[in-house]
Each structure stands twice: as C-alpha cells, then as structure tokens.
Amino acid sequence: MKNKVYIYDTTLRDGAQGVKISYSLEDKLVITKKLDELGVDYIEGGWPNKSNVKTIEYFKRVKELDLKNSKIAAFGSTRSPLNKVEDDPTLSSLLEAETPVLTIFGKTWDLHVTKVLKTSLEENLVMIEDSVSYLKKHNKEVIFIAEHFFDGYKYNPDYTLKCLLAAEKASADSIVLADTNGGTTVDEIHDITKEIYKTIKIPLGIHSHNDMELAVANSLAAVKNGFTQIQGTMNGFGERCGNANLTTIIPILSLKMNFQTIPDASLCKLTENARFIYDIANIPPNENQPFIGQNAFSHKAGVHANAIIKESTSYEFINPMKVGNSRNILVSEQAGVSSLVYKAKELGITLEKDDTKTRDLLFKLKELENEGYEFESADASLKLFLMKQLFPYKQYFDLVDFRVIVETKHLEIFSDATIKIKVKGVLEHTAAEGNGPVNALDNALKKALCKFYPSIGENHLIDYKVRVIEGTSGTSAKVKVFIETKDLKEVWTTVGVSENIIKASWIALVDSVEYKLLRDEQELKDIASSK
Amino acid sequence: MKNKVYIYDTTLRDGAQGVKISYSLEDKLVITKKLDELGVDYIEGGWPNKSNVKTIEYFKRVKELDLKNSKIAAFGSTRSPLNKVEDDPTLSSLLEAETPVLTIFGKTWDLHVTKVLKTSLEENLVMIEDSVSYLKKHNKEVIFIAEHFFDGYKYNPDYTLKCLLAAEKASADSIVLADTNGGTTVDEIHDITKEIYKTIKIPLGIHSHNDMELAVANSLAAVKNGFTQIQGTMNGFGERCGNANLTTIIPILSLKMNFQTIPDASLCKLTENARFIYDIANIPPNENQPFIGQNAFSHKAGVHANAIIKESTSYEFINPMKVGNSRNILVSEQAGVSSLVYKAKELGITLEKDDTKTRDLLFKLKELENEGYEFESADASLKLFLMKQLFPYKQYFDLVDFRVIVETKHLEIFSDATIKIKVKGVLEHTAAEGNGPVNALDNALKKALCKFYPSIGENHLIDYKVRVIEGTSGTSAKVKVFIETKDLKEVWTTVGVSENIIKASWIALVDSVEYKLLRDEQELKDIASSK
C-alpha cells in the first residue's frame, strides 16, 4: 500500500494571479472538468467575495457538473478584526458558495498582523480560532493556510506556532504552511517542517511559490517530513514566478518516489491536460517544461541522439509515454546524419545513413536554417521538403501572381486577395475577401484550387504565429510564420520565412496545401496498391 | 571571509544544445564578453573537434579578447578506446584550442561503457586515467566530468567510484559529478554527494539538468555537502528542460546563503546580462523567470498589490534592485483601484484612490482587456489611454483612409501603402513602399506627418510581435500586435487588437506616434514653465 499525498489544485485561484491569465466563467468550468478527469483531490475555484460576480456564478454552475474525483473548495480569509464571525461578509460568502471544502488563510507573521492587518497579535489568534470553529459548525472540511508562515517563523517562531495551535484547537481538518514570498530555501523548509510535524497532530500541507526555482523541491522536502497535502497549480501558473508546479510534482511523487497521488490510470493524461490548460489560458506552452513540454524528451545533440537510438533507457530518466508525452529527435544544426535518418523514419521516409544523398539533404536543411527556417516545430514543411528532394515531385499548381489589398472605407476595414495560378495547364484567376489579409489569401487560394482538388475545402487554419528574427548587423529583420492547419484527419504545421509577413504567410500556406494534397494522393495510392 | 563557490558557465556549449538555440561566432564572442563582465569563473566555449569549424575559430578569436575575470575552457571527452592518447584526435584538438582549462567527460555508468562506448570496464578506467594525465602533462587545469554519475552510482557504486579515483590519481584539478539525465531527486543528490565528499580529496563540482525542476535545488544540495563548483547555463538554457540555471543559483548563493560567487559589484548586472543573452539567442525571455524575469517582482492581486504599497518588505523576499530588476505593479482584471493609482504614479500621472473618476477608468480598462487588450507589457498605450481620459486631448491627426497593397510581379514582391489623413485642418494624401505591409504603413504615416511634426522621423520600429487570441466558441480569432519603438531618448511599447492584423498593427502604430508627439510636447511645456 502506497502512502497518499493529496493534490490540492489552485490553478483557478492562485494560478489566475499570473500575468496574462484571465479565465472566463466557461474557461473555469472546462478546466474544472479536466482537473477532475485527471483526478486531483481538491479544486480551489476562487474567492467568492461580493465584488467577484464571476466566481459566485462559478460556484453555482460547478454544482451541475458531475465530478468523479475532486472536491471543490472555496477560498477566503479569517474574519476581519472589526467583525464577529456571524456578521463577517467573507465568512458568509464562503458558506454561500456551498462547497464541501472551505480554505481560509490567516496571518501568522507578526509583522503582517500589526502592519498590514493593523490589529493586535492576540486578536489575530482569536480571529483564527473563531473563524475556523464557525465554519466547522457548518459541517465543512476546513483547511487553514498559514500565510507567510516560513518568513514569520524566522522572526517569531513562538507566535507562528500559536497561530497553528489556534487552528488545530478549532478542529481544522488540515493546516497548510505557505511560503508566500517564495524566499525559503530547501534546507530551511526541511528544518522547519520537521519541527512543526512534531508539534501539530492534524494533517499538514505545503503551499510554495517558485521565486527561487525551489517550489518543487520545497514541496517534496515537506512530504519527506510527513506532510500529506501539496498545494500548487497546473504548469506552475501563478503570480511573479508562479506556484509549485503540480505537473512536475505529481509524476515525481508517483513515478520516482512511490507515493499515491492521482489515480495511476490518469497519469498518462498529464501531458494532454497540461497543454489543454495552456490553450484555455491562451498562453504559449513552455516547451522546455519538465514531463509535459514538447522538448522534455527531445534530443538534439548528435552524440546524444545517436546514443538514444542505440539504447533508449540510457538517456531518458522515465519513459515519456508514462506521462503521455513522446520522444522527439530534432533535426537541427547540431544534429548529425543519424538524427536526420531517425526523424525521416518518424515521418515515414527511409534514408540510408551512409548515402551521400542523406548528407546532401542535411546540408540543404542547414542552409534553410541559416535563412531563418525552423523545422523543429514544422514537421509538415520538413516532410514536404524531404519528399520534394527525394522523389520526382509534380507541382500541384504554379503561382503566377497574387495581390492583397487591405483598405479602410469610411473607417471600416476590408481585406481582399486576388490570385492567379496555373493548375494542370489551366490559368485560374480569382479573388476572395477575408477578415484579414492572410485569411483573404487563404480563401482565394482555396477557391482557385477547389475545382481541381475538391478536398482542399476540408483545410481549416487553426493557428497562426509570427516571430520576428532579428537580423545581425547589416541585414534587415525577417519574419517567421507558422501556420497550423486541420482537416478531417490530422493537424499539421508549416513554416515560411521572408522579410515580408505576407510572403512568409504565403509560403507557409502553400506548404500547408501541398502537404494535404500529397498526403491524400499517397493514401489513394496505398489503397489502390493494397487491392 | 565567505566561502567561495566557483561558477562554471556552459551557456555556449551545453546551453547551445537547447532547441531553437544557434549562435553565430560573433554571438559567442559577445556572450563571452558579457559573462566575463558578470564575473563567472569559467566560460566553456565549445567542443573544438575537427568538424566544428565555428568552435575552432572561436578559440582563436577569444584569445584576442581582454578578459578580466573568467578563464576559458575547451570541452571534450576522454580518448577513444581505439587510440593511444598521443594519437587521439579529441585530445589533440583540445590542446590545439590553447585554453588554460580543459574539461573532459568520461563514462562512469557501466551500462554506457559496455553498450554505448562498447569497451570493457577496465579499459574505460585506463582511458580516464591516461587522458587526464596526458592533458595535465601539458600544464593545463583539467576538470573531469563524470557523465551519468548518479544513475551509474545507483546501479554500480563501486565502479563509479573507481572512475573518480582514476581521475584523482591522474591529478585532475577537480571532478564534477553529472546528473546527465536529470532524473535524480534532491535526497539522492544529498546522500550521494555526502558519500563522495568523504572519499575524494580534490575539489568537487556538480552539473545538473532540470528534467524534474530540481536542477537548482540539486546544485545547492551538493554545495551544502562541501562541493565548490557549479556548472550551469545562463537562463537555464540547454537540451530538453535545460541545465541548472546560473541566473537563479548565483543570487541564491550570494544573497541568501552567504557564499562568494561572482564579484558583489556585478550582481546588479544580472538582470541586464541575462536578458541580453536571451536577445542574442533570439529567444523570448521567460517573463516568470526567478530574479531576472519581467514578472519576478510583479504584483497583480489586489490584496497583494495593496499590501506591497503599504509595506514593501512584506511581500518581497529580496530587494529587486540587488539583481538589477525592479518592482512592477500590474494593472489587470484582478487589480483594484490601488494598483491603478500606483501604476499611474509610475507613469507620472496622479490619481486619487477615492475619486469616482479613478473607478471609471478602471472599469474602462477592464472593458478593453475583455476585448483582448493587454497593458501589462504596453506601458505607452496605457499612459496614452489615461492621458486621453483625464485631460483635454488634442488629436494630432485624423485618419481619413488607408490602403495597403502587397503584390507579386513576376514573383518579386512589393508592399505599398497609401494614406489619407487630416493634420491641423490640412488633408495629406501620400504613399510609401516598405519591405512588408506594416513597414510600408509606418513609412507612409511618417511621410504624411513629418511636414507637421518633424521629430517623428526619429521613431524607429525595433520589434513587432503578433499573438493570436483564440475566440471562445462563436467568436472569430483576434490578433494582438505589440510594437516596440525607439527614438533618441527611450524605448516604448504599444498594443493594438483587431480581427485584422493590418488594423491591429495600425492601432499600435498610431499609439506609438501619438505617444512620441505627446511626450515631446510635454517636455517642451516643462522647459517653458521652468524658465
């Protein structure tokens, strides 16, 4: 029987303090479902105070969800020094949220009690005790968070301990020590949590911040000393440098330290879930993020990539499939011939390592990379490049000319693209509008092609990214455009580079179309040959 | 007297294994100067093997730099099992680099010796010993890196130890234990480094990877056990999830743990240096990065932002100025009136907290944020918005219409913008070309304005960023454009949002121009009033 560590997710509350993060009500509900599916023990939905209409509505709506694994918690604080518990608006709004779990924070650092809260140290102890008691009387699971605990402990350990004892006396279900400012080292966490574990008899938890890149290590140090709850956020979202990253902590505890966290069967959903939350938050995923990042199991160095092909366990500390991620050998400047061979194989193309043709391909790829191309995240463009180089390639169409016009008329804006292409010997000249220049160009190209290749109508642009590549002294800046396209079967990414954003977009668009046509044609051939 | 920890920087070698990182020779030399200025003890320049022409050239050119603080190291491996030391190309290319320090890695995990290197365990010990001896004979400082040490130790501790003893016997100057796969926990590092410190009598170092977000904690755990060298990279650059992040480790050791790392006077250059390296690597900085990130000392939550204004030490674990960073109060959905008042003050605008006008402003800002605007990184647009709302604002010009055409002619591409604006009652109708549509629009706008506002010619676009904001179900996607502009006095950022990329760019361009004109006008007034 494994020991259990309870995972308390605060992506929706503390995570939403992150710069650039702002969830709609629907976002919060969708994330709640995903977290429940993953199987975290607690989901903290927000602080339901009066001015926070969205959060109040969330707690109403969340009751309608049929959650399987997680308990919903509402967050707030101990009562104000000015109020009795019965009249305190914070406590009553907590109860009105009607969640099974209520989490309240209280001050434990004497400096904060007197300077920020502006009350006496004695009154603060009473506030903790009667706030917890009051909520417990309403049959709630009550979690008490000791805010700024570790900083407070360094200045006045006796007082911080009194705060915890007040919560324990009031029958809190668990006490969570918070390193609110994130300035505590692993050694300090180790020593202090060890000390507290001796004194406090109810379950203990930890809430860390990542201001010194130590939030994961600090959470694990507390677990080592008998703490059984970890508070954190998916992807480490949160204010400043973020909260403790649950997407890292969960697999370390489950796979490396033999604890029970989320259900074993859910662990392989971790990558998908974490990336989904990035999407909802509209934040580009951290590609280097442990366990779930696109690069977490990527191998670029020639020597490593070579070795991993020989012996996969020797360069990977876990099997990426356990967390739903996958290995990725990158074709890049530093990669040698063996990486290219491996990557091509992944794309369904057989290359021979000792063939001079393979070396030529590598050389040409590196030239394109020097121009600013980047194939690491544009597999479709890479595959197209390889196919064109290796096999007789029939051009699906030839561009004669295009023109894009974006103009205002009486301050309304219009985008219009005209396109002239030659398809199977026929000149097609057509035009289309769009809600922007690239959309207009995409519409016109599809319109010109659909007579000849009807399946092109299935293509749907789902993402468009632009990065400026600063030129070194003397050269002007280029833009790199990535286009993500979807049809009924898959999603693929193509890349274009140019000094002109429209041209770069055009190159990526053409790759996207050609990739689709080539793939469909190959599938037809495969069907024909199998008959 | 503080204890010294030697900082060994491998940004240029192991850091360059990071996805999307590719340095030119000039880049490497510029980074070398910056690292020397910061005062790291060692700078590892690369692996000077025959096929690596750029690195060989680097070691030639780096000798011409007048470095003040850092020693340059060349990186390689022990000899091949097939060669004698005198004939081994790796060892001879190391000597040809003519650096004072040579760092070689050797295998210490038995699995790797037999499966990857394909030699015997005995031969590998001889390889370590005679490779180190050979380099020492040439009067070099020799650092031996025990590759995969911690994984190897778990399987066959005796053999890993024999490898270290071979290097020690051959008079290596120091031995560095590498957690190459990044899969070792803090507890394991703690126990193993403690053990090794008892046995090995020469200086020890650690080289960690961040696959479990533990590279910083693991490096510090080794230091606690008497290790005196830390290998890592600036910003944690490196393969997969990166190397140990020196920009985090240095300030923790210096400011929180009382060790001597880089010179005290250099610590305040940390932020500037780290961001400079992001720029050179052409990677968008991690805004949430500890110590040096733009958000590292940002405060968004109403309650926090409010408290920090009352008592700055209570929510910050160090003074941001110590590492050359600064505090940043964000105006955002979650921020309340006090954050807006504080932010406005930073921009030179006085708001009263209890004024209804201030609440109206906050409400309007939140509406814009709902449309997709983001002022957290666009101070100039925010300032302009506040000025327009608070003071009688005279429009510098009115748009009548614009038109942008991007077209190919015989496969060459041309961008042309036509603009019609009213300035001081005069209708200006003009046109300009550019190397892309936004550049053409910028040129046309400046051309139309310069007759009336000659200083506008000083504006120079230095960065252009586009982000797609996915619409929630039913709405179409918008784009958010950020434009960074520079003149002779400062750099500022503006933002525009629209479904149309050209219109979003236009909005950001207009803000950029208006910001400049308004600032210049205010300065003139200030000069006039001071007379």
Mean pLDDT by 10 residues, chain A (531 residues): 95 90 86 96 94 90 96 98 96 98 97 91 98 98 97 96 98 98 97 98 98 98 98 97 98 97 94 87 86 87 62 79 83 64 86 86 82 81 92 90 94 93 94 93 95 92 75 60 87 91 95 94 80 66
- Contact between residue B175 and residue B168 where contact means Cβ atoms under 8 Å apart: yes
| Residue in A206, A209, A211 with CA at minimum distance from that of residue A177 | A206
Cβ atoms < 10 Å from Cβ of A257: 18
pLDDT at A354: 82
d(CA A152, CA B279): 39
How many CA atoms, within 13 angstroms, populate the side-chain half-sphere of residue B438? 32
Q: Which two tokens stand for residue B114?
A: 């037999």
| Separation CA A320–CA A326 (nearest Å) | 5
- CATH for B398-530 (3.40.50.300, 1.10.760.10, 3.30.160.270, 3.40.718.10): 3.30.160.270
Residue A238 amino acid letter? G
**Which residue pairs, CB below 8 angstroms and at least 24 apart, start in A262-266?**
A262/A7, A262/A38, A262/A39, A262/A40, A262/A69, A263/A39, A263/A69, A266/A37, A266/A38, A266/A39
User: Do residue A499 and residue B436 have CB atoms under 8 angstroms apart?
Assistant: yes
Chain A, chain B: beta-carbon pairs less than 8 Å apart: 300
Min CA distance, B237 vs chain A (Å)? 9
Indicate the SS3 state at residue B433: strand
Q: Model-level pTM?
A: 0.76
Which part of chain A has CATH 3.20.20.70? 7-281
Neighbouring C-beta atoms of residue A190, cutoff 10 Å:
19
Q: What is the mean pLDDT of each run of 10 residues along chain B (531 residues)?
A: 95 90 86 96 94 90 96 98 96 98 97 91 98 98 97 96 98 98 97 98 98 98 98 97 98 97 94 87 86 87 62 79 83 64 86 86 82 81 92 90 94 93 94 93 95 92 75 60 87 91 95 94 80 66
Chain B residues with CB-CB distance to A399 below 8 A: 408, 411
B463: helix, strand or coil: strand
Phi, psi of B72 (to 5 degrees): -90, 135
For CA atoms A222, A224, A229, A234, the dihedral sign is: positive
CB contact under 8 A, B405 and A403: yes
Q: B209: part of which helix (H) or strand (E)?
A: none
* Tokens 């290590």, residue located: A217
Residue A181 structure tokens: 């400012």
Which position has the token pair 């809260």?
A: A117
Subunit contact B216:A212, Cβ cutoff 8 A: yes
ipTM: 0.75
Q: Which amino acid is at B307?
A: A
pLDDT score recorded for residue A48: 95
Sort out which chain B residues have CB atoms less than 8 A from A221's CB and list them. Answer: 186
Q: Per the CATH hierarchy, to which homologous superfamily does domain B6-281 belong?
A: Aldolase class I (3.20.20.70)
Contact B224, A187 (CB under 8 A): yes
Best mutation site among A287, A408, A421, A484 for testing chain B: the one with the most B CBs within 10 Å? A408
Interface of B with A in 242-281 (CB under 8 A): 242, 245, 248, 252, 256-257, 279
Give the one of A240, A463, A502 whose C-beta lies nearest to B406's C-beta: A502
List the CATH code of the domain at A7-281.
3.20.20.70
Of A171, A181, A187, which is closest to residue A207 (Cα–Cα)? A181
Query: Cα angle at B180 between B175 and B181, to 5 degrees?
Result: 155
Pull the structure tokens for residue A469: 């590549």
C-alpha distances in Å from residue B167, one per residue of B65, B80, B104, B130, B145:
32, 16, 10, 9, 9
Cβ-proximal residues to B236 (8 Å cutoff; 6+ apart), any chain: A288, B210, B215, B242, B243, B244, B245, B246, B247, B248
State the span(s) of chain B assigned CATH 3.20.20.70. Answer: 6-281
Q: Per-residue b/e over A18-27, b at no fewer than 16 CB within 10 Å?
A: bbbbbbeeeb
What pLDDT does B44 receive?
A: 98
Residue A427 and residue B464: Cα distance in Å, rounded?
37
**CB–CB contact A22 B369 (8 Å):** yes
CA of B293, closest CA in chain A: separation in Å? 8
Residues in chain B: 531
Is the separation of the CB atoms in B182 and B212 below 8 Å? yes
Structure-block tokens of residue B357 = 């006008």
Q: Tell me which residue of B334, B328, B333 sits closest to B316, measured CA to CA.
A: B328
CA dihedral A337, A343, A346, A349 (to 10 degrees): -50
Half-sphere exposure of A328 (CA within 13 A, CB side): 23
3-state helix, strand, coil in chain B (%, to 5): 45, 20, 35
Amino acid of residue A439 = N
Between chains, do A19 and B295 touch, taking CB under 8 Å as contact? yes
Token pair for residue A112?
A: 């904060």
Expressed in angstroms, the distance from the first to the final Cα of chain B is 54
What does residue A351 show for φ and ψ, rounded to 5 degrees?
-120, 150
Which of 444-483 (A) contact B at CB < 8 A?
463-466, 468-470, 472, 476, 479
Q: In what order do the strands lie in the sheet with B460-469?
A: A491-498, A478-486, A460-469, B460-469, B478-486, B491-498
CB B172 within 8 A of CB B202: yes
Are A256 and B217 in contact (CB < 8 Å)?
no
The phi, psi pair for B436, rounded to 5°, reads: -165, 170
Q: Determine contact, residues B138/B95, Cβ cutoff 8 Å.
A: yes
User: What gap in Å lies between CA A347 and CA B255, rounded to an integer?
Assistant: 50
- Residues spanned by CATH 3.30.160.270 within chain B? 398-530
Pick left, alpha or beta for residue B324 (phi over 0 → left; psi -120 to 50 → alpha; otherwise beta). Answer: left
CB within 8 Å: A332 and B216:
no
Per DSSP, the three-state class of B490 is coil
**Distance separating alpha carbons of residues B185 and B193, to the nearest angstrom:** 12
Q: What is the pLDDT of residue B40?
A: 98
Q: In B, which residues are within 8 Å of A111 by CB distance?
A: 311, 314
Q: How confident is the model at residue B332, as a pLDDT? A: 54
B286 CA to chain A: closest CA distance, Å? 9
The residue whose two tokens read 């969960």 is: A250
Tokens 């990539």 belong to A305
Domain A397-452 sits in CATH at 3.30.160
B512: DSSP letter: H
Determine whether the interchain pair B148/A314 forms a contact, defined as Cβ–Cβ distance below 8 Å.
yes
Measured distance CA(A274)–CA(A31) in Å, rounded: 10
Tally the C-alpha atoms within 13 A of residue A408's C-alpha that lie toward its C-beta.
19
The partner residues of B204 in beta bridges, in order of sequence, read B175
User: Are A408 and B403 an interchain contact pair (Cβ–Cβ within 8 Å)?
Assistant: yes
C-beta of residue B251 within 8 angstroms of C-beta of residue B322: yes
**DSSP SS3 for A435:** coil
How far apart CA B416 and CA A295 sit, in angstroms, is: 40
Q: Mark yes or no for CB contact B18/A300 under 8 Å.
A: yes
Cβ atoms of A397 and A510 closer than 8 Å: no
Give B 353-382 residues with CB within 8 A of chain A.
369, 374, 376
Q: How many residues does chain A have?
A: 531
Instruction: Provide long-range contacts, Cβ within 8 A and 24+ apart, for A121-129.
Output: A121/A159, A123/A81, A124/A78, A124/A81, A124/A163, A125/A162, A125/A163, A125/A166, A126/A166, A127/A78, A127/A79, A127/A81, A128/A78, A128/A163, A128/A166, A128/A167, A128/A170, A129/A166, A129/A167, A129/A169, A129/A170
Q: Are A295 and B19 in contact (CB under 8 A)?
A: yes
What pLDDT, on the 0 to 100 scale, is given for residue A236? 98
User: What is the CB-side half-sphere exposure of residue A186 using CA atoms within 13 A?
Assistant: 29
Please give the pLDDT value at position A128: 98
Contact B126, B165 (CB under 8 A): no
Q: Which of A257, A330, A499 is closest, CB to CB, to B185?
A: A257
